[in-house]
Structure 1
Amino acid sequence: MRFGLLGPLTVHDAAGAARPLNSAKGQALLAALLLRANRVVPVEVLKEALWGERAPASANASLYNHVTRLRRALGADGDGRLRSVAPGYLLRVRAGELDSTEFTAAVRRAREAYARGDWAAVLQEAADASALWRGRPLDGLPEEVSEALDAQPFVRQLEEERLQLLEWRYDAELRLGRHGGLAPELSRLVAEHPLREGFHRQLMLVLRRTGRQAEALAVFHALRRRLVDELGVEPGAAAQEAYQEVLREDPETGVDVPARRATAGAVPRAAAWAVPGGADGPPPECADERSATEAAGAAPLGAVPDSAPLTEPAPRPAQLPPRTSPFIGRDDQIAVLYEALAPRGDRAATAVLSGMAGVGKSALAVHVAHGLRDRYPDGQLFLNLHGANPGGAPMSALQALEVLLRDLGVPRGRVPDEVHAASALFRSTLDGARVLLVLDDAAGAAQVRPLLPAAPGCAVLVTSRSPLAALDGAVHLPLARLAERDSVDLISRVSGQGRVPAGSPAVRRLAELCGQLPLALRVVAARLAARRALTVEALVELLDGQDGRLDHLEYDDLSVRRSLAVAYDALVASDRPVDRDAALALRRMGVLDLPAYETGLAARLMAADDRRACAALDRLVDVALLEEVAFGRYAPHDLVRDFARELAARHEDGAERAATARRGVEWFAARAAQSVRVFVPASRLRTLRLAGEPAECAAPFADAEEAFGWGDRELAVMRDLVARHIRTDHGRDAAVTLARMLEPYLQRRGRTQELAELSDLARAGARESGDAGAEVVAMSDLAGAYYMSGRYEKALVLIDEAIARSRLLGDDEWLQRVLSNRGLLLYVLGRPEESAAAQEEALAYAHRLGDDHAVAVCLSHLGNLYELADARKAIEYHRRSLEAGVRLDSARLQQTARCNIGCAYLSLGEPEAAVAHFEAALRSLEEATDWHTVSESRLGLIRALRRLARDERAADECRALLDLAEVRGDAYTAGKARYEYGHVLRTLGRGAESGEQWRLSLAALDGTDADVLPELRSLV
């Protein structure tokens, strides 16, 4: 077996044949295990890799299924390789099986060979390692999965090792005098890595040694310009040495890289006293080659700086504001910042604190800066850049440099009036110093970049609402809400001794209503401190209504609303269309008021295309009014949701709010319709379900796994939308359609409670709209929910009404289906004659309509009926249904038929044959299968194992089924599983435990029509 991480994720068996990894979740699981090969990976880590921070309720069961499929993909020894070891899973990988490990070993050997000057060995190891490299490690793995696995350090390390290996390889080629043919490869690498000096050095040497001196010089000057413009530094010693070799009239062409020589032509670093913009400028003959560094104030090539220092001695700056008191929490972030801002030997340390307004960025920055004062004895600078300045523009980089240079003692008249020159002077002034610079409230990376010192003894701590991701070399630390414990502590300590009772549930609710946002927490604490009659409970009541919540989060100069309005007002006032789009998007989000939004939904709310919506959402992330919680998925903070609702009420008229809400519900209905296409095979049933599908176009789902993931993530939101809009004139029809489109997902997922709730709402909405056809569908769906939860009599009442309505409407297609369901209900209620009549009528309609899928379902139901009298004949019917399922490519028909065949063999007293069919059904049960088939197959397997006295395995199957039922909230199936488990435990001699299981089973099944209830009552 070989595993590949260097490129797209791959698995090959011993013969070299590829093992398929068919699903994105399977790839994510394998990646998580391989990144920690031969170590236990906790279940929580695996769930985050597969679903992110918001794993569905069914995550444990789904993870178990993915592990099972991965074991199958690993072949015969899959069970031995991938083992369950508390608290997770361990994947065993043998020596030589993982390409990244082999690659790293080859790099290590190449490093050792390079150190001892064995150039032939370097080339051999480089060739061996390069043969393993198939592209960027973990290529194709979704970004959100990579982030969940914290895979980026692993990827960056491997990529850096590969680049270092290439440098060693080209050095070895040069040492051996084999420079012919290397220029094209090195030219490509220089273009791909424009700041990597090693490749530039090697290309210069190759070009010079092949007689292309002018091109070699051009490579050096291009490198120098880029380094000075982008980083404010000169090329390093090795590149300068190569430059000297190129300059020699009679260059060496031997194998040694020349030792560095101090010559008048060497490029000096920018000096602290170099006066920018001299009176005469560079000599005319040098004008064409004047570099960006010289334009910024560095001395020209070969120049000797004058001796007068630019700056006068200045007092050591100590500008940090006082610490916030009390400062509570953020221990992990403080530790990260202390480490990130420790003095470095190669460059200035830089860290960026980002987050929404009021999250405590400035307070944390000042707190950490005070803790670092001793490490930076030459001073601490603090500058507010006014990035979120109400009614004003942010400070420009040049303005900021003028302030900083004056604070460092540079006279006003000596500060250049050009930003690059001022930046060079700032870096020169700090050269050799140990200074801490705090840049508060930055607007963007372009504002900050010229303010960064190059001196390795300095450090910079930046705060910004934007993450400043374009600021290279910085440690980026997004700041989230406070932990609950710290939030409660903050309220208690700021509000005053005794104002908050210890352990009060009300104060925890108050912290929750403040979104655990430090600014809001300080506001409520200040109000409690100022008004002794105001209690925590009263303040909770004021905030709990949501409407007007922000009115209560203002005190003195503290205001959550004003802090949020700064960013919004700037977007509205901007001349940039993308900013105005961002403001529009936030208002429209306030209409729908959801906890998260996908790009497509935001586009629909804005009545714009996805490109515009994506740009608008990204701008909202930039100004910290949204958080991108996964790729293409955005969430506002709780208080931002309040703010957005206010904006919608204030700036969107009633007609537009109604239209926006309708578009939002229609978008969810369109997405749900795409899930119908995944869950229901092409058939008349699918056509019937999709009747009334919204005209809204929605992206299709790649597979059932993706559709289930979307449903699991959005179900709570969709329930809320249906409940909110089912009785409104503008949203009723869309809400009814949404409920209709969700039935296949809910049925297959086993979400019977949600199916009953939404179907009942849809029935009421359809009746209010006068849509008789939609009402029949909703009644039928509600009957299905009752059937799945064991309430057969209630289901039959609804089905009979649906039959009567279908006959009146002349809807033969839907009539056929409800007749078939009536036959099934009568069968489980023990009324075989009536069941047979309903099934025969349903079968006749199916033949008349030419609906092969419906015929196969009727055959399945008739097989169940014949099982009561002639189980052999029942098996014949089920086999015909199975054949139809194969012919129609319906996994659900096939799996239901296998389950039913197993039940028939149980009736015949042949449990061994039954086990084989139940196991076949369960082996083929992928995510696309409905929960009812899963649960019935497992129950049948448990009964067959009991008859075979395989009680230990039966107990394992009972526990597995209980886990699956409980994560779905399916009390009926859990009750049936506990009934079986009680019998298994009694057989195993565990009488007390069996009694407890029967008591729990009776509690779950009481009120249903389960046939085991009389026995359970006697057992209990």
Structure 2
Amino acid sequence: MYRSTVKFRVLGPVEYHDGENWVPVKAAKQRTLLALLLLNANHLVSAQQLHAELWSDGPSNHVGGLLAGCVWRLRAALGDSAGRTLLTRPAGYQLAVPPEAIDLHRYESLVAAGRAQRAAGNPAGAVESFGAALGLWRGAPLADVALTPSIMAESARLEESRLAVTEANLGVRIALGQHEDVLPELKLLVAQHPLRERLHEHLMTALYRAGQQAEALGTYRDLHHLLADELGIDPSRPLRELQQRILEEDPRLDDGGARQVATASGPREPAESPAAAPSLLPHRPAPLVGRTRELAALVRLLAGGRSAVAIHGLAGSGKSTLAVEAAHAMAGDFPGGRVHVDMRGTRGGPALRPDQAMRLILRAFGTAPEGDDAPAPHTWAGAGGRRALIVLDNVRDADQVQAFLPAPPGCSLLITSRSPMGGMDGLGHLRLGRLTVAASADLLRRSVGRPRVDAEPAATSDLIRSCDHLPFALRLAADRLATRPDWTVADLARHVAEPHQRLDFLACGDVSLRDSLLASLHLLPEEPEEPETPEEPGGPAGAAVTAVKALRRLGLLDLAVVTVAALAVLLDTAEGQAHRIAERLVDAGLVESLAIDRYRVPQSVRALAREIPGPDPGAAEAVQRVVDHYATAAREQTGLTSGAWYRQERAMLNALVTRDRTGTLTESLGRMAAG
């Protein structure tokens, strides 16, 4: 075979080397012809195929002459007028070149070498070969060639090959400890190829090894949402396993074993056979949105051997969803079984007694006592003494779970409650608050669809605010929109923004935000809060105040944030008593503590508070007292450095101005500004 000195490149624009320079083929037909021959180098390409590729309009009386003329001009361009490189065969044409004369063949040889070195345990050699192969690329393959059927197919194959080699190279580099070096490239590639799971796997591993666990889990979350939205599927099993190992802080992710862990052929097996180990959990909820850090913290506590962890927070903040997700994610950590029990402590009806809950748990393990005998405390360890996880959901108070502590060795309790669980040794605490704006929007997109939500950004922001950034309210809003395709986001946002309509529209089927919040009212103490001393100021003769009455007045005051001092003025009582009442509301999951003397009252709670029946003839005067309280504070700030105070209280002051029946606050603010 003739050994041509001409070299060719197809991993980018098609070019040939004339001995001194790389030269493009100027004529489009000749360029396409050369590309077709290079892709089939040293093999015959029939004249019929070349006809079809170059003149797709169909047969012509002149096609044979056109092809021969095109071949002749290409030979002239290559300096091969004798036809020793571009050969004429009886049925067509053949380009005779040594493999090393074409960059594509050199690329494929380097890729094969890199894979062989990786398999032989030589990662440094693999990186060198993969890097050299990728270095041959100059852009899109066959970039300046007409997209005939063969060219399109080969271009797609080559692009896929380059991406696969890039993934392989990144994986080896991560294994060599170059995780921080590859992060910028990985982030760009993930953005360019959002459905490419291997790239997400590498990015998750690199982020985790760079000390960015939350970002690694966020990468998985983003892919999970995208796959669900675009294809209606979940990430592959290797990715799910990698997510769990990141949650567990698996040490193999830090010692170069990440690649093997992430691509295992099957799920991680528990240390012992799971036979007879119960897994009585509710169906796995929809993928968590905006709770990556909380889930990681929860799994870290449980995997670290904490015997009990309690999740508490506002009504509707997603405590049960988080607990069930964590229980599902930790199957390998609790081979003795995982059991969920609804303690029914926030439903308003009779709550589950500890002995009833214990019997349900023992029944799940097949060890319930005969007859009516009460189960012995602390007998709920998993079958055979293996580790077990018990989820006690919707707990009312500490009395419901005290009998379960201390947990048997190696076992754990996961508790959800609107009020914090106090007075129990060794109990870990995790508080859930509101979602971020971005996470709230993501939650809406999952049910409503990205195009519909993103088409109305202002209305989406309004709806998120009216839902207090809380998952339960946002899911109800999303369900309403999903089942009412003729509604716009602005339609629902407009109605939910109206306080007297908010709770009516945040409902879907038999599930409503109003019912969820009403359950919290049952957690409030019925007895009035007694004044600290008979001399303390108050209503008639220092009358006591109930938490329910305080909540009703907070609804009328309608402030997003309230201080202990303002609450004391509103209730006409001492600040100590006002603080205790505020903490009662926090414990019921109705109010959120921002600081020791500052609380946030969600809009939905204020709407519910205004529905609470009962006479309160002094309510209007109570609201005006708060207005006057801030008018006095504004006067005291006049002439002082009042900027910081005003910035902190601006939203509250603007809201109170609209409730000022006497104009005192407006006047005081004007004086403060003038001073």
Contact preservation (8 Å) 2:553, 2:570: yes
Q: Does 1:401 align with 2:358?
A: yes
Contact preservation (8 Å) 1:405, 1:415: no
Quickly say closer, same or farther: Cα 1:640–1:408, change in 2 above 3 A: same
Residue in 1 that maps onto 2:376: 422
SS in structure 2 opposite 1:446? Answer: helix
Instruction: Please identify which structure carries the higher helix content.
Output: 1
Q: 2:291 aligns with which of 327, 330, 340?
A: 330
What letter matches 1:411 in structure 2? A
SS in structure 2 opposite 1:383? Answer: strand
Q: Counterparts of 2:287 and 2:331 in 1: how far apart (Å)?
A: 19
Contact preservation (8 Å) 2:555, 2:605: no
Q: Does 1:451 align with 2:404?
A: yes
Q: Does 1:724 align with 2:659?
A: yes
Q: Counterparts of 2:398 and 2:275 in 1: how far apart (Å)?
A: 29
Contact preservation (8 Å) 2:307, 2:406: no
Q: 2:608 aligns with which of 643, 646, 656?
A: 643
What letter matches 1:714 in structure 2? E
SS in structure 2 opposite 1:412? Answer: coil
Residue in 2 that maps onto 1:266: none
Q: Counterparts of 2:285 and 2:422 in 1: how far apart (Å)?
A: 27
What letter matches 1:624 in structure 2? G
What letter matches 1:363 in structure 2? T
Residue in 2 that maps onto 1:494: 447
Q: Counterparts of 1:492 and 1:582 in 2: how far apart (Å)?
A: 38
| 1:19-75 per-position Cα deviation (integer Å, ceiling 9, x unaligned) | xxxxxxxxxxxxxxxxxxxxxxxxxxxxxxxxxxxxxxxxxxxxxxxxxxxxxxxxx
What letter matches 1:589 in structure 2? L
Q: Counterparts of 1:722 and 1:333 in 2: how far apart (Å)?
A: 39
Residue in 1 that maps onto 2:324: 366
What letter matches 1:330 in structure 2? R
Q: Does 1:665 align with 2:627?
A: yes
Q: 1:514 aligns with which of 467, 471, 480?
A: 467
Contact preservation (8 Å) 2:281, 2:339: yes
Q: Counterparts of 2:622 and 2:522 in 1: how far apart (Å)?
A: 22
Residue in 2 that maps onto 1:350: 308
Q: 1:615 aligns with which of 555, 559, 580?
A: 580
Q: Counterparts of 2:368 and 2:505 in 1: how far apart (Å)?
A: 48
Deviation of 1:625 after TM superposition, in Å, equals 0.7
- 1:257-276 alignment to 2 at 5 Å? none
Unaligned 5+ residue runs, structure 2?
Answer: 1-273, 531-543
SS in structure 2 opposite 1:478? Answer: strand
What letter matches 1:362 in structure 2? S
Contact preservation (8 Å) 1:426, 1:453: no
SS in structure 1 opposite 2:392? Answer: strand
Contact preservation (8 Å) 2:344, 2:395: yes
Contact preservation (8 Å) 1:672, 1:742: yes
SS in structure 2 opposite 1:467? Answer: coil
- 1:939-978 alignment to 2 at 5 Å? none
Quickly say closer, same or farther: Cα 1:741–1:495, change in 2 above 3 A: closer
Residue in 2 that maps onto 1:410: 367
How much is the aligned-residue C-alpha RMSD, in angstroms? Answer: 3.0
- 1:840-919 alignment to 2 at 5 Å? none
Instruction: Please identify which structure carries the higher strand content.
Output: 2
Q: Does 1:542 align with 2:495?
A: yes
Deviation of 1:668 after TM superposition, in Å, equals 2.1
Contact preservation (8 Å) 2:545, 2:571: no
Q: Does 1:631 align with 2:596?
A: yes
Contact preservation (8 Å) 2:566, 2:626: yes
Q: 1:604 aligns with which of 569, 572, 578?
A: 569
Contact preservation (8 Å) 2:503, 2:514: yes
Contact preservation (8 Å) 1:353, 1:479: yes
Quickly say closer, same or farther: Cα 1:453–1:406, change in 2 above 3 A: farther
What letter matches 2:360 in structure 1? V
Q: Counterparts of 1:471 and 1:642 in 2: how far apart (Å)?
A: 35
- 1:707-746 alignment to 2 at 5 Å? 710-725=645-660, 731-732=661-662, 735-736=663-664, 738-742=665-669, 746=672
| 1:397-423 per-position Cα deviation (integer Å, ceiling 9, x unaligned) | 233223223333333337754xxx832
Quickly say closer, same or farther: Cα 1:576–1:319, change in 2 above 3 A: farther
SS in structure 1 opposite 2:430? Answer: strand
User: Identity of counterpart residues, as a percentage?
Assistant: 35
User: Structure 1 length normalisation: TM-score?
Assistant: 0.36
Q: Counterparts of 2:461 and 2:546 in 1: how far apart (Å)?
A: 37
Deviation of 1:743 after TM superposition, in Å, equals 6.1
Q: Counterparts of 2:325 and 2:656 in 1: how far apart (Å)?
A: 44
| 1:974-1013 per-position Cα deviation (integer Å, ceiling 9, x unaligned) | xxxxxxxxxxxxxxxxxxxxxxxxxxxxxxxxxxxxxxxx
Quickly say closer, same or farther: Cα 1:575–1:717, change in 2 above 3 A: closer
Deviation of 1:502 after TM superposition, in Å, equals 5.2
Contact preservation (8 Å) 2:313, 2:433: yes
Contact preservation (8 Å) 1:431, 1:455: no
What letter matches 1:530 in structure 2? T
Deviation of 1:674 after TM superposition, in Å, equals 5.0
Quickly say closer, same or farther: Cα 1:411–1:710, change in 2 above 3 A: same
Contact preservation (8 Å) 1:343, 1:457: no
Q: Does 1:562 align with 2:515?
A: yes
Q: Does 1:504 align with 2:457?
A: yes
Q: Counterparts of 2:335 and 2:379 in 1: how far apart (Å)?
A: 21
Quickly say closer, same or farther: Cα 1:351–1:576, change in 2 above 3 A: same
Contact preservation (8 Å) 2:524, 2:588: no
Deviation of 1:425 after TM superposition, in Å, equals 3.7
SS in structure 2 opposite 1:594? Answer: coil
SS in structure 1 opposite 2:468? Answer: coil
What letter matches 1:380 in structure 2? R
Q: Counterparts of 2:303 and 2:353 in 1: how far apart (Å)?
A: 28
Residue in 1 that maps onto 2:81: none
What letter matches 1:525 in structure 2? A
What letter matches 1:423 in structure 2? P
Residue in 2 that maps onto 1:295: none
Q: Counterparts of 2:396 and 2:583 in 1: how far apart (Å)?
A: 15
Deviation of 1:319 after TM superposition, in Å, equals 0.7
User: Structure 2 length normalisation: TM-score?
Assistant: 0.53
Deviation of 1:369 after TM superposition, in Å, equals 0.8
Contact preservation (8 Å) 1:433, 1:457: yes
Q: Counterparts of 2:522 and 2:399 in 1: how far apart (Å)?
A: 22
Residue in 1 that maps onto 2:6: none
SS in structure 2 opposite 1:381? Answer: strand
SS in structure 1 opposite 2:610? Answer: helix
Quickly say closer, same or farther: Cα 1:415–1:457, change in 2 above 3 A: farther
Contact preservation (8 Å) 1:550, 1:561: yes
Residue in 1 that maps onto 2:49: none
What letter matches 2:389 in structure 1? L
| 1:662-693 per-position Cα deviation (integer Å, ceiling 9, x unaligned) | 222122234445556xx57xxxxxxxxxxxxx
SS in structure 1 opposite 2:413? Answer: strand
Contact preservation (8 Å) 2:529, 2:577: no
What letter matches 1:669 in structure 2? A
Contact preservation (8 Å) 2:335, 2:388: yes
Q: Counterparts of 1:424 and 1:415 in 2: how far apart (Å)?
A: 18
Q: Counterparts of 2:428 and 2:522 in 1: how far apart (Å)?
A: 30
Deviation of 1:328 after TM superposition, in Å, equals 2.5
Q: Counterparts of 1:397 and 1:670 in 2: how far apart (Å)?
A: 52
Quickly say closer, same or farther: Cα 1:430–1:470, change in 2 above 3 A: farther
Unaligned 5+ residue runs, structure 1?
Answer: 1-312, 681-703, 726-730, 747-754, 756-783, 786-1020
- 1:981-1020 alignment to 2 at 5 Å? none
Contact preservation (8 Å) 2:339, 2:389: yes
Q: Counterparts of 1:334 and 1:661 in 2: how far apart (Å)?
A: 41
SS in structure 2 opposite 1:628? Answer: strand
SS in structure 1 opposite 2:589? Answer: coil
